[in-house]
Amino acid sequence: MSRDKYVSPLSERYASKEMQYIFSPDMKFKTWRKLWIALAETEKELGLKDADGNPRITDEQIEELKSHVEDINYDVAREREKLVRHDVMSHVYAYGQQCPKAAGIIHLGATSCYVGDNTDVIIMTEAMKLVRTKLINVINELAKFADTYKDLPTLAFTHFQPAQPTTVGKRATLWMQELLLDLADLEYMIGQQKLLGCKGTTGTQASFLELFEGDHETVKKIDGKIAEKMGFAACYPVSGQTYSRKVDARVLNVLSGIAMSAHKFSNDIRLLQHLKEVEEPFEKNQIGSSAMAYKRNPMRSERIASLSDYVMADALNPAIVASTQWFERTLDDSANKRISVPEAFLAIDGILDLYLNVVDGLVVYDKVIYQHFMKEIPFMATENIMMDAVKRGGNRQELHEKIREYSMIAGEQVKKYGNENNLVELIACDSAFGMTREEIEALLDPKNFVGRAPEQTAEFLAEQIQPILDANKDILGVKAEINV
């Protein structure tokens, strides 16, 4: 680790090795070289000739290029860039130093965006695939949690006030539902990715029309061939020098959506941990506070929230860039997108690793949940109690007023004096209800108040989640490593 210069926490603390590699210099510059090979192969296959009518590109040249895809001479490129102040031409030069026979045909007819923009699309696509893998694994862990606790009643909250009960598992389906929306958006964007292709300086392919002596039909084939060689279905049909920067904005909007969902989950866990109902993993030697040794802070969930804030804010960057591009190209996008796009992916990668880690180790304290439940359930059960008393011959209007009065008294005991909820006792002592304490308490079984929550959970898992998991069995089982 370097100690004399800034190092991004995204690399040192949060993002996985896999995501870091996708945005690494090796991935970038090896892809540049693969694109140069694809271009040379395409030009050869389309019959590019030299001034004497001989093939301009040979098999020998292409093989030479292929033999040096991996061993990038970074030192040569670095020194050359100091001289010419141009990263693409520096790497063209460095590649040519390793491939003297092919040096003259590297980057033939192309502009810098041929390697730069096509590589950006390739890298974003690979990064989205990794995000998809981790997102599905989070959904898988949440599904296990929801299934385990689908029948466990718990207080639900509206406005963070106790409301009609649900189950712990049903609450987890709400987190999953949001992730399903994110997965749909992510898969759509993966399927939408197209390469820039090879369009030249203003997107007109004029340089290639000149290379192929005005043969429009041949030039039309270039983009399709390059796309196929690089594993894509198509290139954008029209462009300026670059692909539309709205592509970056659309991709980061998907990442922002995942961040929104993760943030919401982390909020719920932090609140539940405050209530001591559910707790995120806490390791044996973990320190919660430097001052308060007893504390068990939900630091993983807090980190999810913190990184999610960053991703949601970062999504504004490509939106501004896309909206301020001039005509066929301007360079005020470059420095911004070099930072904003990789960092959004590195952050969302860290978020999903944390999400996976938290769900995999969630601890549920059912006794505390039951205790909280029973403090509130007498209020919620009053309608059931009243209806049962009416069946026994009571007057509904009279009983309703009595319950209202007793509820106020019981509420005052709880909030003003810190006593237990004595609503059941008050009702049992009133002969107008005709019910014993035991009969009233029999109505207070938590399972009587959760509606279809267990069934909804089981149906959601079977109908919405399981088909996704079945279709993605080969990518399940990912375990997250948390650095700090």
pLDDT in tens, 106-165: 999 999 999 999 999 999 999 999 999 999 999 999 999 999 999 999 999 999 998 889
CA distances from 451 to 55, 346, 354, 358 (A): 76, 41, 32, 28
Strands 363-364 and 153-158, by their bridges, are unpaired
**pLDDT at position 287, please?**
45
Is 261's pLDDT higher than 50?
yes
Same domain, 128 and 250: yes
**pLDDT at position 306, please?**
98
Same domain, 298 and 435: no
Residues 6+ apart with CB under 8 A from 367: none
**pLDDT at position 289, please?**
47
Q: Is residue 469 part of a domain?
A: no
Same domain, 158 and 294: yes
Tell me the CATH number at 63: 1.10.275.10
Share of the chain above pLDDT 70, in %: 97
Share of the chain above pLDDT 90, in %: 78
**pLDDT at position 19, please?**
97
- The CA-CA-CA angle for residues 37, 42, 48, to 5°, reads 115
**pLDDT at position 3, please?**
81
Confidence of residue 100 (pLDDT cuts 50, 70, 90): very high
pLDDT, one tens digit per residue, over 397-445 is 988 898 889 889 988 888 898 888 888 888 889 888 888 888 888 888 8
* Mean per-residue pLDDT, 353-381: 92
Confidence of residue 294 (pLDDT cuts 50, 70, 90): very low
Provide the residue range defining the domain that includes 89. Answer: 16-105
How far is the C-alpha of 463 from the C-alpha of 481, rounded, in Å?
A: 31
Confidence of residue 1 (pLDDT cuts 50, 70, 90): low
Out of 368, 403, 432, a domain closes at: 368
What are the tokens at 418? 């810190």
Tell me the CATH number at 123: 1.20.200.10
Total domains, the chain? 3
Question: What does the mean pLDDT of the chain come to?
Answer: 93
Lowest mean pLDDT among 3-12, 324-333, 364-373, 382-391: 382-391
Q: Is residue 73 part of a domain?
A: yes
* Mean per-residue pLDDT, 266-277: 97
Same domain, 125 and 243: yes
Is 285's pLDDT higher than 70?
no
Out of 45, 78, 105, a domain closes at: 105
**pLDDT at position 2, please?**
66
Q: Is residue 10 part of a domain?
A: no
Q: Which residues are catalytic?
A: 159, 289
